[in-house]
Amino acid sequence: MPQDIQPHLIRPDLKVYVKFFPPNTTSILQPMDQGVIANFKAYYHRCTFSQLIHETDGEGRQSMREWWKSYIMKAIHNIEEAWKEVKEFYERSVT
């Protein structure tokens, strides 16, 4: 256990045991990461990087740094769009 967090976790009266996943094993140990979450990440990244290229590619366009500074509202919209695509994908695959 990392020493910097150990004092906050030791509470013998609660009988709580903290376990850490080994690095790079999340997708194996948590099946949701293999399907729904992996698809969400793919849709989100596709949408985000498509916007980034479209809005920063060419003369007189904003830099990537400027684009990322104003990205928060776009990120919220991209999250919404990515979940819609995931939902549509899984609805089609079930029917």
Mean local confidence (pLDDT), 20-26: 78
Asked if residue 11 has pLDDT above 70, the reply is no
Higher-confidence residue: 27 or 57?
57
Residue 75: burial class (beta carbons within 10 Å; 0-12, 13-18, 19+): middle
Domain spans of the chain?
A: 27-94
Per-residue pLDDT of 36-94, as tens digits, reads 888 899 999 999 999 999 999 988 899 989 988 888 889 999 999 999 988 888 777 76
Long-range pairs, 84-88, Cβ under 8 A, ≥24: 85/39, 85/43, 86/36, 86/39, 86/40, 86/43
The pair of structure tokens assigned to 94 is: 């079930």
